Structure 1
């Protein structure tokens, strides 16, 4: 991603600089694909092969969701298997060699090809077993399942995964170890497709289940864990291993964590079903998430991201601390669509962070603002990243109801960041960007039709169309609208968008499948119910204490994990306990969802803050603490869902309006308290008063609202008398 600006001539201030030296800041490359450090960059026939696989993978979902639906379990198995095959083809398990001379020895190569023989043998056995069953047999001989399929598959999968950690090749070369893993993925998925399309499906989770299902599930789980490590890091893998260990160590644990135990066969014969890996997380990734990734890819292909950022510059760039406010608007728009906090930081932050530093923000503040804004995109309706779709799947609450409920909380979150930024800019006397530094608003307004795909999506959802149909219409409209812009999408651009979608989807699908593994452990061992009983016990002492405990568990589970996985796990562990203590399901799930989202800016492991620190050049831990402070409202607002459900649109119109307005005023006071500025500098005792007033208004009760408003009015009058109604700050800005 790049932007156009010229250097300031030495010795000239902003007002003295001749207009001829100034070039407008214009966002370019926001829509360019970010290439991960372990992603292979193929050329020639290998590039064409994997591009064709990615296009076929995206097209398969569009066709299955809209034209020729598949049986549910089969569809989800193919969905995961396709992501495994693409993922192992594109993402390396070890660091790349600088060139062929630094690559691993030929011994690694030949060992990999040797491992291909048992992998291919197990795949051949799948075809033979399918023929046996289609010939009228009720079961496969256990000795064949064990000795000719299960043992060689597990040994080959585990051995090849370990080998891939040490086998280094140049970035443009394909690794034969990953070819073995691709074959193992086919063999695992192939057996499950054969077994689940026969009467064997009914035996899962019992002692009568064929051992082959367990072997296929073990191999599939290993492949999912390894791909998750490659695309999302170790955090989620470590948490998954801890949960898997609990399955077999649980019977030996004391207290509320103990449970009777499950055998290897009973657990794994059931975990690769809709009780686990094929459950809610994969249900969402195989329908809504993949569809909206395709939608985002079409928007990227038509360069809508560049337009969003330039529109934000034109709309907010001239306000004091302009680039920071641009970051809020642009990151909110982009984050709503792409559903990943760290990815959003990289796409918009590489432009906004340097510009924030240019107008006077310290590197730490610039990175923190971008991290907080990018994280907030995932609580911004109507798309809300991907978490809202999982919430709809888990709770059974209509997606449109969830999107409407998110309106006030998202306003509060972004109002908090906006006023934090504004008060800091006023306190430090920062300027906005000049008119000659930003794109012309009048020119950009003429291209406002580029918002049409998102408007069509919202309209279709609220007209009663299904999410799948609405998403498909929005995707098609993105291609149509591009013909009115300079970036027209022809046949090649559409293929490129489908290829991009296939590649972009790998991380989220791996993460959802891995989260499904954890959800399977929770549901099959009953550990979620034990957490519920613990919350019930705490609620007997204090409901606030139970909520604080639920918050800490949600943030802890979300550390280092993408939001989708963090919410899916927390929704299984924490949300049922909150519902059991009397909290409404929508309130309970929103509570958990918010803390899963803000775990991306919560120290000590804050992925979005770390990504921002990489761009700003500041200390990652310092940036995460600063972004935590800027996103402070997100840690308070969820508690208010419990005390004031009107924040989630539950209540009369007047209640909702009153709560929305007073909570927003409370957020302004809270921001002023944090930044020690409210139309001018604020003394320590005034900051305490501001905090009290803010909490009263955010609380949402009628009497607390009146008290909070009274405190706010008193402070406002005092500040006007002391600082001339904000004239000083206006001059400073």
Structure 2
């Protein structure tokens, strides 16, 4: 579906149209008419509820997080089917249901309906008659039918869910009702649940409500992110029960179901830090991105990038580095950003000479890098602030140099590859005119206002809200003025975009809860300490591997939340500063999106480019190699995180920049001309020598680079030197 650009058609050629719009997922519904309007109204109310509570009427913590989770589950089950969807059916009629399906749905409806009725009766007695303690059977009898009905509705969806995008399956309506029932029970007994959850005093009804909630979370996570995260969560849940039979440091005493599931549904688990951040900062900035999308500001960002760099050698690839990084910073999903901006940049990269594999890899690498780009960092900065207690502004300042090193490295690789293959840019006649676009530079105001307010001492919530307002206001200076209809559209889009993060953060909360309950994080810390007795560098390498493995197949938010619980405490015990330790694991959690064999961002790019997924992931790994080295750089030189004197910071920054250039030249195989394997290995060694940040290692790296430069000048022929010269 095409959309007009933020530029008048007669003023300038247009390249970017609707680049920041979320494409429909394969199992996403697209209901029309009254049903579509009903779902849109629910979504808009969900988003408006969050904005109102965050800015005007704060709620009690558990209540707010539970409503956030329950609302996300309802929207998720309405918007996403259990099975892949097809286009609208020609006859527009639902296929007849068989007797088995009717029986299963009937039993599911009885179970969920009874559970809902009991919880509703309890709330009604409280609201209408002031009865705070209903008859025992009311809350004690609802749980088992609720769990059974929920499980049957899930299974029915797996088997009989229709493949028509325009309808919502009856089983999914039941799952929505089950989500409301779970929230209703937990909020009704929240006072007592705080005291008894995770102990022998927990009630069977607590267990069943929590178990039903876990089933709902895992099913929605499966629909939104696939099986990878569900399998990982399942492994952690099984670990809680299998502890007595496990060997070595993995062994623990094991937990009964009642204690485990009630503990998981507390602020130590599902309602803990990931959902705390999801219900505040993440949804706020997703809605900010939705306002930018509704006002077509995202199109302007990409068109501006093409106007600046589209005509340079390998221009579309350089645009991808800039535009995909910027959009990835805001929307917080690597694979999703690849699909949205990559649908434009990948074909254009192929047009100027990049192979499908390289085009997909560059897009995946840039989109993943958006997660480490301040000030938003794809919500990573907010989670880090929540987990560590370090002020958000300190985290953003610390992230500047590593992000610059990453993107300058990718830029060097793109430029050197274009130079090596003698690529050209796009013709100037096909690009947006810079002198036209520069007159609309005020469209950057929402980002500028956001950054200014964040550093002027405003709260993150207030800054994000002002950014939304700014996006709506600047739209009045464009052909796409945001009125009530467009604001409603932005609120609707924001809720649908945030559902994945709700499910992912809830699933990550289960893992975090298991780690806290079983103490496996402390055991990993002890393991790291024992390895560090032999070599601290080996311990850091081991920590890197764990962070990457934990993040494979998981969205960035969940990957970091889990790595922060398992790996970061061990690094802190090694004597690594808290900020450095968390940045270390955060980088590798982010880069798991382009790390073979499970590289979600690279796979998404490969699907668009028509390239081999595994070869694309290997290429993306090479392109993003800087992100695998930079954490070791700021581990050995804390100045890269703005820690220390300005002179020392400047020294390590300059040496690191040179190291990134040498690294890029080694990966691409071009250093003032084509180079073979031995010079590439020497350049890689020179780049790694500059990791330490010391004067001696910097001198060694520069000496090797200078030697190779002289060798290149003497050994190549004048003809090849002319072809390889830098413009």
Question: TM bucket by the smaller chain?
Answer: over 0.9
Q: 1:340 aligns with which of 314, 333, 355?
A: 333
Q: 2:721 & 2:332 partners in 1: Cα distance? A: 40
Deviates more, 1:499-508 or 1:95-104: 95-104
Determine the structure 1 residue equivalent to 2:406. 413
Instruction: Check if 1:218 corresponds to 2:211.
Output: yes
Q: Deviations over 1:386-430 (max 9, x none)?
A: 111111100001111111111111111111111111111111111
Instruction: Check if 1:397 corresponds to 2:386.
Output: no
Instruction: Check if 1:60 corresponds to 2:52.
Output: no
Determine the structure 2 residue equivalent to 1:191. 185
Determine the structure 1 residue equivalent to 2:493. 500
Are the aligned partners of 2:110 and 2:149 in contact in 1 as well (CA < 8 Å)?
Answer: no
- CA positional deviation for 1:711: 2.7
Are the aligned partners of 2:107 and 2:152 in contact in 1 as well (CA < 8 Å)?
Answer: no
- CA positional deviation for 1:354: 0.8
Are the aligned partners of 1:604 and 1:624 in contact in 2 as well (CA < 8 Å)?
Answer: yes
Q: 1:2 & 1:439 partners in 2: Cα distance? A: 18
Instruction: Check if 1:118 corresponds to 2:111.
Output: yes
Determine the structure 2 residue equivalent to 1:575. 568
- CA positional deviation for 1:144: 4.7
Determine the structure 2 residue equivalent to 1:664. 657
Q: 1:701 aligns with which of 669, 694, 707?
A: 694
Q: 1:460 & 1:727 partners in 2: Cα distance? A: 51
Determine the structure 1 residue equivalent to 2:28. 39
Instruction: Check if 1:475 corresponds to 2:468.
Output: yes
Q: 2:710 & 2:464 partners in 1: Cα distance? A: 50
Determine the structure 1 residue equivalent to 2:85. 96
Structure 1 segment 592-631 matched on structure 2, within 5 A: 592-631=585-624
Q: 1:95 & 1:680 partners in 2: Cα distance? A: 50
Q: 2:380 & 2:723 partners in 1: Cα distance? A: 40
Change (3 A) 1:206 1:732: closer
Unaligned runs of 5+ in 2: 5-11
Instruction: Check if 1:178 corresponds to 2:167.
Output: no
Q: Deviations over 1:313-367 (max 9, x none)?
A: 1111121111111111111111110111111111111111111111111111111
Structure 1 segment 259-408 matched on structure 2, within 5 A: 259-408=252-401
Are the aligned partners of 1:2 and 1:351 in contact in 2 as well (CA < 8 Å)?
Answer: no
Determine the structure 2 residue equivalent to 1:105. 97
Q: Deviations over 1:273-307 (max 9, x none)?
A: 10000000000000000000110000000111111
- CA positional deviation for 1:174: 1.5
SS at match of 1:165: helix
- CA positional deviation for 1:696: 1.6
Q: 2:416 & 2:95 partners in 1: Cα distance? A: 54
- CA positional deviation for 1:716: 3.4
Q: 2:153 & 2:493 partners in 1: Cα distance? A: 28
Q: 2:459 aligns with which of 456, 459, 466?
A: 466
| TM-score normalised by length of structure 2 | 0.95
Change (3 A) 1:435 1:187: same
Determine the structure 1 residue equivalent to 2:523. 530
Q: 2:243 & 2:362 partners in 1: Cα distance? A: 43
Q: 1:520 aligns with which of 485, 509, 513?
A: 513
- CA positional deviation for 1:178: 0.5
Unaligned runs of 5+ in 1: 5-22
Q: Deviations over 1:487-533 (max 9, x none)?
A: 11111000000000011110011000110011001101111111111
Structure 1 segment 197-216 matched on structure 2, within 5 A: 198-216=191-209
- CA positional deviation for 1:217: 0.9
SS at match of 2:477: coil
Are the aligned partners of 1:228 and 1:510 in contact in 2 as well (CA < 8 Å)?
Answer: yes
- CA positional deviation for 1:121: 1.7
Work out the number of aligned pairs and report it: 713
Q: Deviations over 1:547-590 (max 9, x none)?
A: 11111111111111111111111111111111111111111111
Q: 2:725 & 2:355 partners in 1: Cα distance? A: 21
Q: Deviations over 1:125-171 (max 9, x none)?
A: 1133346678788866665544x211101111111111110113222
Q: 2:317 & 2:480 partners in 1: Cα distance? A: 28
Determine the structure 2 residue equivalent to 1:239. 232
- CA positional deviation for 1:695: 1.2
Determine the structure 1 residue equivalent to 2:553. 560
SS at match of 2:53: helix
Are the aligned partners of 1:662 and 1:705 in contact in 2 as well (CA < 8 Å)?
Answer: yes
Determine the structure 2 residue equivalent to 1:19. none
Change (3 A) 1:165 1:472: same
Q: 2:720 & 2:401 partners in 1: Cα distance? A: 28
Q: 1:257 & 1:114 partners in 2: Cα distance? A: 40
